[in-house]
Amino acid sequence: MEAALTPTAEIEADRSDAPAVAAAALDRGEAVVLPTETVYGLFLRADRPDAVARVRRERGLVDGQALALQVPDAAAAASLAPADPAVGRFLRRAMPGAYAVTLDADAASLASRAPDEAARGVFARGGRVAVRCPEPRVTRRAVAAAGGPVVALPAVDAAGRQVVDPRERPPVGADLVVLGGPARFGRGSTAVRLFRPKRADGSRGRLRASVLRAGVYAPRIVERLNRLHILFVCTGNTCRSPMAEAFARQAVADGGGGVTVSSAGVSAVDGYAASPEAVAEAAGAGGGLADHRSHALTAQAVVDADVIYTLTADHLDLLVSRFPDAASKASRLDPGADVSDPIGGDAEDYRRAADQIRAAVGRRLAELAP
């Protein structure tokens, strides 16, 4: 690595004008060191050829090596790829955060982000782009305020070590350093590739999240981010919604996974067992209900769910009245009819309810299949 310039300025990240100062420096074609939750990054405008050439030269980077595109939020990242609910869900869960996510980018979106082909080539290769959304607010605001696409790579000191705290390891090659204290993790981001594998018939399979580089988060955390979570809701969570959960869990297991399911009740009390009749109807499905315990519907359960199915229209109305933000992801499990409460009925009542629930769950899962 060649000798680099000593930083010409330092400012504190908690200054109210820090994002604007950093963005102005980026727009002038300067290299700016900004805090992230992993290590400090060296940020620059992708459409400033002199800045890009300087950083590549000083860091010994190959000309064709793409740099990570920086975005202020998950929506900005999602806009780079063709519309895909699963991709959007993963990005909302992962960003802001210590992930560098490689996407199959939409050509028109890339051109909109960087009209100049040479600038696009700084961060996009072969139709793919690695996207990063750092946690520190000052950094995201600086990226948002910049007048063009911003890329970054880890900042290093004179010995080539990544910078965790610029006061202890002064970074080289920067015109401005924004001081935000020690980076929270002190290690690199987890690099993930999102893609849908092609099936034999030419269609695309379920979204995969492949870990390309170990970092802050383990592969099991990445896998969790890529799961669709379905919540079933009834009254007491001892009969109808537990059966829906069991039937869905069995269907998901048979279909190869990628989905988690749970259930709750709008009037439930925690800790009650499923009714004996529901246990009998769900025997052998998704592990059965012998160990089921009821759960009251909570705000956290609603937030965690990607899709919510209620057993009746009244359940849906009550859910939305309590949690208005759930309206966009909640609907009745069987659009054509309520599932009547079999509590207090005979075995035939439970069988009819179970048959209706099983069929409705199958249809809903088919709708959600990629």
Kindly state the average pLDDT of the residues 13-29.
97
Is 239 a catalytic site residue?
no
Given the residues 234, 239, 306, 364, the one annotated as active site: 234
Superfamily of domain 227-368: Response regulator (3.40.50.2300)
Which residue of the set 106, 116, 341, 349 is catalytic? 341
Q: Find the catalytic residue in 54, 240, 249, 358.
A: 240
Q: Which residues contact 31 (CB under 8 A, 6 or more apart)?
A: 42, 43, 44, 51, 54, 55, 173, 174, 175, 176
pLDDT in tens, 300-325: 999 889 999 999 999 999 999 999 99
pLDDT band at 4 (very low <50, low <70, confident <90, very high): very low
How does pLDDT run across 202-238, given as a tens digit for each residue? Answer: 777 778 899 999 899 999 999 889 989 999 999 999 9
Catalytic residue status for 234: yes
Distance (Å, whole) CA 263 – CA 238: 10
Residue range 175-208, pLDDT digits in tens: 999 999 999 999 999 999 999 888 778 777 778 8
Among residues 234, 244, 231, 206, the alpha carbon closest in space to that of 304 is found at 231
What residue segments make up the domains of the chain, in order of their start?
9-191, 227-368
Q: Does domain 9-191 have CATH number 3.90.870.10?
A: yes
Q: Are the folds of 9-191 and 227-368 the same?
A: no
